[in-house]
Chains A and B, each alone.
Chain A
């Protein structure tokens, strides 16, 4: 079974600065998807960024980018120019390549943004 680990329960960053959230995973599969989801306080979870394992190029979405190291099974999220609205729980998630597989989530990292 796949597992996802997030070793940083809490992180903080100064507004306008850059922060990196770590994620490692364990799998024997070669094809899969990785995601970062954001869960603001009392609000629903939304997708931040997605990476297909077969793509070598790291995904980027505006201020959000990932560092995907397939051999190391590492998938970190970098948030540039942090904003107050970035404060939330961030979950790293894994999904098998085959259709219909469920998502496996890490325990999350709580990000605080300091003004």
Chain B
């Protein structure tokens, strides 16, 4: 297992277009998180899944954003009718349910979205 994988690494899209990102977590991890990071800022929480269930969504996640995790494996994050303000790095992370030693999140390299 090579860790958390995100695809694509970079995406340039025109304003108003829809985009979809994919995240493949570490295989034994049942928790999956999406974060958004703008330049010079810390990651902001968007949503998280435990297995296939989406358990929490941030108020940052407007109705143009939707995330899925079918079968509790990979996840997709879709942004509809993109706006320039959506330009950011979208980070995926996964973690394993368990004892105290399993509390950390492992991050992917992110998908950098540029809306022009």
Contacts and interface: CB of A to CB of B under 8 A. Distances in A.
Binding partners A and B? yes
Interface of A: 4, 6, 33, 35, 37, 43-47, 50, 52, 91, 95, 99-100, 102-108
B62 interface: no
B107 A99 contact: no
B45 A104 contact: yes
B70 interface: no
B21 to A, nearest CB: 15
29 contacts: A4-B42, A6-B42, A33-B100, A33-B103, A35-B104, A37-B107, A44-B3, A44-B4, A44-B107, A44-B110, A45-B91, A46-B107, A47-B104, A47-B106, A100-B31, A100-B56, A102-B33, A102-B45, A102-B56, A103-B33, A103-B43, A103-B93, A104-B45, A105-B35, A105-B42, A105-B43, A106-B42, A107-B41, A108-B40
Contact of A91 (B42, B93, B109): B42
B114 interface: no
